[in-house]
Amino acid sequence: MMARISTGVIPAAGEGKRLGYLSSIIPKCLFPLYDKPIIHHVIENMVSIGVERIIIPAYYQKSKLHEYFEYARKEIDADICLLELNKLPEGIALTMASAKKHLEEPFIAILGDDVTITDSLQPLVHLFLRKKAVAVEGIVPESSQEIIKHTCCIELERDQRIARIVEKPDNPSSSLRGCGVYVFDPEIFEFVEKTPILPPRNEVELTNTIDLVAKDGRAYGGFINGINVNVNTPEDLFQAWLAARTRVVKGKNET
């Protein structure tokens, strides 16, 4: 059994249209988050648990991502592979699947607009290995039903197995929100191939893929000890900025 996960994937192909003018200049994953872009925080979360190689499927404004990594490469303690796509995939699941040929071992995937402030994501990896799972999704308790309605709702069994997972539910059935943080076995791509294109976005939703894995009894939810923000609106970006600032200031005070 593997002791750790050494490969990461950051799907970063989307346009982020809900964030207005700024998204017409740079991709959402490069939006500033206190001292560095969102994607740099994502990379730091991966590197902190031992990830050595990170694959980033990119489409929208991909040249800007290339420029950023040329500039910041010396500050990143991992090999970055920017996978430049020729068209926008129909959904996050297909964006991730574009990296399939590079993924022969279990990997961690974090969305390019996910901001997670935590001491470590290692508990998700431990859960994945202990349960011999196909999929583990990060979850947090969420007090706002409105936020869950615009993100993802999860129901868990006592053994942390996912009983039900719904993207953007009209009536959330629990107060557990799924986050854009995952650990996958490469077998996940077999489930991606089986995932239908469904409304409202008419895309291959990663949540629907995980639902198929859950129906097979091999999807689990792992609690994230910290703050998680999925950046979709200017308010989300502001909240994420505050959380990132708190982590940076705390780190400086500790050193």
pLDDT exceeds cutoff 70 at 100: yes
Q: How confident is the model at residue 48 (pLDDT cuts 50, 70, 90)?
A: very high
- What pLDDT was estimated at residue 255? 60
- What pLDDT was estimated at residue 178? 97
Measured distance CA(156)–CA(122) in Å, rounded: 20
Domains, the chain, ordered by start: 7-248 (3.90.550.10)
209 and 97 Cβ atoms separated by less than 8 Å: no
Q: How far is CA 48 from CA 4, 5, 28, 162, 167, in A?
A: 11, 11, 23, 26, 29
Residue 165 identity: I
- State the angle between helix axes of 62-72 and 38-47 in degrees (0 to 180), rounded to the nearest 10: 60
**pLDDT tens figures, 123-155:** 999 999 999 999 999 999 999 999 999 899 999
Mean pLDDT, rounded, for 63-73: 93
Residue 188, token pair as written in the block: 């996940």
Mean pLDDT, rounded, for 38-61: 95
**pLDDT tens figures, 168-219:** 999 999 999 999 999 999 999 999 999 999 877 889 999 999 999 999 999 9
Q: CB neighbours (10 Å) of residue 63?
A: 10
Residue 153, token pair as written in the block: 């709702």
pLDDT exceeds cutoff 60 at 2: no
Measured distance CA(108)–CA(58) in Å, rounded: 17
Residue 87, token pair as written in the block: 């068209």
pLDDT exceeds cutoff 50 at 116: yes
Helix (H), strand (E) counts: the chain: 8, 13
135's CB contacts (< 8 A; 6+ apart) are: 182, 183, 184, 185, 188, 191, 209, 210, 213, 214, 218, 219, 220
- What pLDDT was estimated at residue 1? 43
Q: How confident is the model at residue 3 (pLDDT cuts 50, 70, 90)?
A: low
Q: How confident is the model at residue 45 (pLDDT cuts 50, 70, 90)?
A: very high
